[in-house]
């Protein structure tokens, strides 16, 4: 028996299914800073990468694509997408650890955590920390700050604002009170050669972000006590520290904490046996610092070091094969401005990274910047990777460098999508399904979502794009704005652009809206300048404050809308003047998030996402608004192709419904909602923008802050029911989820699915999925049961499983008779209804019925009997009911009913009082209602 317990949560809200969606990225390849790369020492070809805002990745050795291991990070723990440091267990290849948390200031409300995995990152355990972690803070490229003892892999050290010691894999231990600097520990390095297998490694080295006195400390008693190493260099911050078998500790230094700074620095080699420090820097007067440090495990005198930062003309990598006594540069001057290169570089899988506007000596394709992560494969001396501010570069013939032949560098970031997306538009026509603007790399025009575009938006180039829009009736006309004080205009469907004029005083873009016929309204920064209208040049709009979120009507080219504070504004003269038309909406502040959008093809139809204030809708240009019941939080709103049989677009929001955060779709103007993502696909912060595809039903594009452009398509799998409602306003007690099997009609080809509340399919419908009840399809955008076929009706009388035609199995064991109807005799097996075969001797049929004074009669309806001394709450045709452990239970018929036993904690209408919840979601004559433990409760006014 399929038990759909459909409980009403709000009178007009129905979350019917959590649909199965396929989630992917629109291919960009890279796009953000990769501060750490870690090769496993325990297994060949097992490689991880960490990002500052986009989570943790593992390289798929078969496809050579990176796979994100942090898509489970959601709204409530969004900071976990910032990976401050990570390590792979050098003994157990299945274990991996990371310290997560985005900021150490109050931007991130949560403390950090150590996450650990025993299956290479497929699943994680979380150990919360009592302090914050700065995965996107200065110094995030230092490291690694976390390390597993290679001699005893039950010991893990993590260096944050103080060294933290962990034993027994992940258990928090007391603070070690030696270091309290602002950035704290920069690296933790075990000298494995000082110990033996099975025992804690005695000698451990840590770098400290201190440029005034001592920067490197050593413990010779496995971390119990620490001392500064004598005679060490000062004035610089240590970024990386690695030790070799011959007792040499190599340290890279920079005059800043990174990743953007670095105007001086050094490389030192410390002989742990003699105590001697030696400056082995390739340049004695550099204009840069040193960041990434790689040691070849096959030949530990071979080193590669990277600059931090040599912005011009390019980064420099240095290679030594004698422990740093001598160095070879990856490029050298060959008579200024010419340079002699020891490599060839191929950006083809990420062609936008090539900048053809550069002039020599700057190359069109740079080796990178912010190079803090630099690693040689411990199993393969030819393989190297390094992370930059935009991608991962690498080579698989590195040793060509030593022989005088050129080695080959290519992008190795396939699968990494780390952009911070600010706005998305999916036009109804044209060869491009998606245009976007984003942080750091401007934006893109995608004609193929599975292929990286050839070029990002240029001429003009905005480092970060904030807003983009087009004219609904003139679809080749586009406008975008970003970090520059002017507007970008395209009459070529976003393929080519030119700069428009800007009003005086504008510093950067803000939000732009394009009218249906091509007029433009622009709300730039600073906000006190106000809002402007025009095309090629702009004048001040009247009647609307600066910083308002703005959009255009998608039908009437003269109408624009604005939203700021609690007020809705409208212009009917292309933005020349605005009027207040509605107040009392949820308050919002100036910003870039897309909280207001108008519906294509429907004049005056506008939706407002009021964040924690919910979702609002007007169909008369703002004269009146309707609050959409049940939407607790609406961060952003978008539209896509209508469902079959509907003339209204599908709605998409990110927010919270039914106390669940997620991405939701509605096909009926917000009456019913479907969660279309799941807990494994949450993507951190997704509150900025969302849009459906007007040409593909079900497709949705989502802006993320660090996971790139995420898009989803319907997978065809039904998912699982989560909750539901009727429209009568009841809170779900009336049928208690009991199935009305008595109304089922017996026929081998009958509509078995009607017994479960679904019609049978009428036409030729494709099989979508099967379960224990039967085969399911989709018809008119609704689930339907595919009729079961049988050769004759006689099977119902010959002892065969007659109940299968009704969607129920036949009883298999010796099952007691419970009741009969016109179809036959029924029993209970495995807490589900089953049909008793007609030729069987039905056990206790004559003596067992619902009037039995001791039987747990309510089990027949899927509910337990009450176990304790509990008063009844109500009666119906089935018997007496009460509530125990927050669930309905049947009061045994032999029990004396205590009519006065209904305590105050029962609440009203069969629901308990809330034990601690005070948030009101609903009010009726009984009082204020909230939700606790997944069910309604009456708010206790004595505690709230």
Residue closest to 926 by CA, chosen among 943, 941, 944: 941
Query: Do the beta carbons of residue 293 and residue 323 sit within 8 Å?
Result: no
| Residue found under tokens 């008579």 | 335
CA 23 to CA 128: how far, in whole Å? Answer: 29
Residue closest to 691 by CA, chosen among 446, 418, 390, 352: 446
Query: Do the beta carbons of residue 773 and residue 853 sit within 8 Å?
Result: no
Dihedral-angle region of residue 886 (phi above 0 means left; psi in -120 to 50 means alpha; beta otherwise):
left
Residue 592 CA, distance from chain mean position:
20
Query: Do the beta carbons of residue 58 and residue 738 sit within 8 Å?
Result: no
> Residue 611 carries which DSSP code?
B
Is residue 52 annotated as a catalytic residue, yes or no?
A: yes
Q: In 632-692, where does DSSP find H-type helix?
A: none
What's 860-895 look like in SS3? HHCCCECCCCCCCCEECCCCEEEEECCEEEECCCCC
Residue closest to 400 by CA, chosen among 340, 330, 333, 339: 330
Residue closest to 696 by CA, chosen among 676, 683, 681, 712: 712
Q: Which two tokens stand for residue 480?
A: 């975008």
Long-range residue pairs from 158-163, CB within 8 A, at least 24 positions apart, any chain: 158/85, 158/99, 158/114, 158/188, 159/184, 159/185, 159/186, 159/187, 159/188, 159/206, 160/84, 160/99, 160/112, 160/129, 160/131, 160/133, 160/184, 160/185, 161/104, 161/131, 163/188, 163/206, 163/223, 163/226
The 3-state DSSP composition of the chain as helix, strand, coil percent (nearest 5) reads: 5, 35, 60
CA 169 to CA 153: how far, in whole Å? Answer: 8
CA 162 to CA 139: how far, in whole Å? Answer: 15
Task: Give the number of other Cβ atoms within 10 Å of residue 225's Cβ.
Answer: 12
Of the candidates 52, 149, 191, 314, the residue annotated as catalytic is 52
Of the candidates 382, 440, 715, 928, the residue annotated as catalytic is 440
Q: Which two tokens stand for residue 481?
A: 């704005």
Query: Do the beta carbons of residue 69 and residue 176 sit within 8 Å?
Result: no
> Cβ contacts of residue 399 below 8 Å, gap of 6+?
381, 382, 407
Residue closest to 469 by CA, chosen among 543, 431, 508, 523: 523
Task: Give the number of other Cβ atoms within 10 Å of residue 906's Cβ.
Answer: 18
Q: Which two tokens stand for residue 526?
A: 């600073």
> Cβ contacts of residue 779 below 8 Å, gap of 6+?
759, 761, 762, 763, 765
Is residue 106 annotated as a catalytic residue, yes or no?
A: no
Q: In which order are the strands placed within the sheet that holds 434-438?
A: 421-425, 434-438, 442-446
β-bridge partners, 851 = none
For strands 769-770 and 185-190, give the pairing.
unpaired
CA 803 to CA 747: how far, in whole Å? Answer: 9
For strands 672-675 and 14-18, give the pairing.
parallel
CA 703 to CA 686: how far, in whole Å? Answer: 6
The CA-to-CA distance between both ends of the chain, in Å, stands at 41
Report which secondary-structure segment, H or E, holds 401. helix 400-403
CA 544 to CA 541: how far, in whole Å? Answer: 7
Dihedral (Cα; 120, 126, 132, 134), 10-degree rounding: 20
**Active site positions, annotated:** 52, 440
């Amino acid at each position: 028996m399929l038990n759909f317990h459909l409980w009403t949560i709000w009178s007009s809200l129905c979350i019917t299914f959590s649909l199965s969606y396929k989630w992917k990225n629109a291919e960009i390849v890279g796009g953000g800073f990769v501060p750490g790369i870690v090769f496993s020492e325990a297994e060949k070809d097992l490689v991880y990468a960490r990002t500052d805002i986009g989570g943790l990745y593992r390289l798929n050795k078969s496809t050579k694509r990176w796979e994100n291991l942090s898509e489970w990070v959601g709204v409530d723990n969004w900071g976990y997408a910032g990976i401050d440091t990570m390590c792979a267990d050098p003994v157990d290849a299945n274990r991996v650890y990371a310290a997560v948390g985005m900021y150490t200031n109050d931007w991130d409300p949560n403390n950090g955590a150590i996450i650990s995995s025993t299956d290479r990152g497929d699943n994680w355990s979380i150990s919360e920390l009592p302090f914050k972690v700065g995965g996107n803070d200065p110094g995030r490229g230092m490291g690694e700050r976390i390390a597993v003892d290679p001699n005893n892999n039950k010991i893990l050290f993590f260096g944050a604002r103080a060294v933290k010691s962990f034993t027994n894999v992940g258990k928090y231990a007391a603070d070690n009170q030696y270091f309290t600097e602002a950035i704290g520990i920069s690296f933790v390095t075990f000298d494995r050669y000082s110990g033996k297998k099975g025992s804690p490694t005695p000698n451990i080295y840590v770098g400290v972000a201190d440029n005034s006195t001592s920067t490197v400390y050593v413990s010779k008693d496995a971390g119990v006590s620490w001392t500064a190493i004598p005679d060490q260099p000062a004035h610089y911050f240590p970024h990386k520290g690695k030790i070799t078998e011959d007792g040499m500790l190599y340290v890279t230094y920079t005059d800043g904490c990174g990743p953007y700074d670095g105007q001086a620095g050094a490389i030192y080699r410390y002989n742990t046996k003699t105590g001697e420090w030696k400056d082995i820097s390739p340049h004695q007067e550099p204009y840069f610092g040193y960041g990434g440090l790689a040691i070849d495990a096959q030949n530990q005198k071979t080193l590669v070091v990277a600059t931090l930062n040599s912005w011009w003309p390019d980064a420099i990598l240095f290679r030594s094969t004698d422990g740093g006594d001598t160095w070879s540069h990856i490029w050298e001057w060959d008579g200024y401005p010419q340079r002699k290169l020891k490599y060839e570089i191929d950006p083809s899988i990420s062609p936008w990274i090539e900048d053809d506007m550069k002039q020599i000596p700057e190359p069109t394709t740079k080796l990178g910047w912010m190079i803090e992560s630099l690693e040689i494969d411990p199993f393969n001396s030819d393989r190297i990777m390094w992370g930059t501010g935009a991608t991962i570069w690498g080579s698989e013939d590195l040793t060509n460098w030593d022989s005088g032949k050129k080695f080959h560098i290519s992008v190795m970031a396939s699968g990494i999508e780390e952009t911070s997306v600010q706005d998305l538009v999916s036009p109804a026509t044209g060869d491009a399904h998606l245009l976007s603007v984003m942080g750091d790399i401007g934006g893109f025009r995608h004609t193929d979502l599975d292929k990286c575009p050839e070029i990002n938006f240029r001429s003009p180039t905005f480092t970060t794009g904030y807003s983009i829009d087009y004219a609904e009736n003139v679809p080749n006309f586009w406008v975008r704005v970003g970090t520059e004080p002017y507007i970008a205009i395209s009459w070529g469907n976003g393929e080519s652009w030119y700069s428009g004029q800007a009003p005086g005083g504008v510093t950067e873009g803000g939000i732009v809206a394009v009218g249906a016929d091509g007029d433009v309204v622009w709300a730039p920064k600073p906000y006190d300048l106000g809002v402007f209208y025009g095309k090629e040049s702009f004048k001040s709009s009247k009647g609307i404050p600066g910083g308002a979120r703005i959009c255009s009507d998608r039908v009437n080219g003269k109408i624009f809308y604005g939203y700021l504070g609690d007020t809705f504004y409208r212009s009917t003269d292309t933005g020349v003047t605005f009027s207040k038309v509605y107040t009392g909406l949820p308050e919002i502040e100036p910003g870039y998030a897309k909280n207001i959008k108008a519906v294509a093809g429907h004049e005056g139809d506008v939706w407002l996402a009021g964040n924690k204030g919910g979702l609002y809708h007007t169909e008369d240009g703002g004269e009146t608004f309707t609050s959409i019941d049940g939407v607790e939080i609406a961060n952003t709103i978008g539209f896509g192709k209508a469902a079959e049989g509907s003339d209204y677009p599908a709605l998409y929001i990110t927010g919270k419904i039914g106390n669940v955060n997620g991405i939701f779709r509605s096909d009926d103007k917000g009456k019913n909602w479907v969660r279309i993502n799941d807990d494994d696909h949450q993507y951190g912060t997704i509150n900025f923008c969302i849009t459906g595809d007007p040409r593909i039903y079900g497709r949705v594009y989502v802006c993320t802050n660090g996971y790139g452009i995420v898009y989803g398509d319907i997978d065809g799998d039904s998912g699982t029911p989560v909750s539901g409602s009727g429209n009568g306003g009841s809170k779900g007690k009336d049928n208690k989820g009991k199935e009305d099997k008595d109304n089922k009609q017996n026929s081998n080809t009958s509509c078995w699915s009607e017994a479960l509340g679904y019609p049978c399919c009428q036409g030729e419908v494709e099989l979508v999925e099967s379960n224990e009840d039967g085969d399911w399809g989709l018809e008119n955008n609704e689930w339907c049961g595919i009729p079961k076929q049988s050769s004759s009706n006689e099977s119902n009388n010959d002892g065969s499983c007659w109940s299968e035609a009704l969607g129920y199995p036949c009883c298999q064991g010796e099952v007691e008779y419970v009741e009969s109807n016109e179809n036959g005799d029924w029993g209970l097996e495995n807490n589900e209804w089953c049909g008793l075969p007609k030729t069987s001797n039905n056990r206790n049929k004559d003596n067992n019925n619902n009037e039995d004074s001791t039987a747990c009669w309510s089990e027949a309806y899927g509910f337990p009997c009450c176990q304790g001394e509990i008063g009844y709450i109500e009666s119906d045709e089935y018997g007496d009911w009460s509530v125990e452990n927050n669930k309905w239970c049947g009061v045994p018929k032999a029990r004396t009913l205590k009519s006065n036993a209904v305590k105050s904690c029962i609440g009203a209408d069969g629901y308990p009082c809330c034990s601690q919840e005070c948030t009101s979601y609903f009010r009726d004559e009984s009082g204020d209602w909230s939700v606790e433990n997944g069910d309604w409760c009456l708010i206790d006014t004595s505690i709230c």
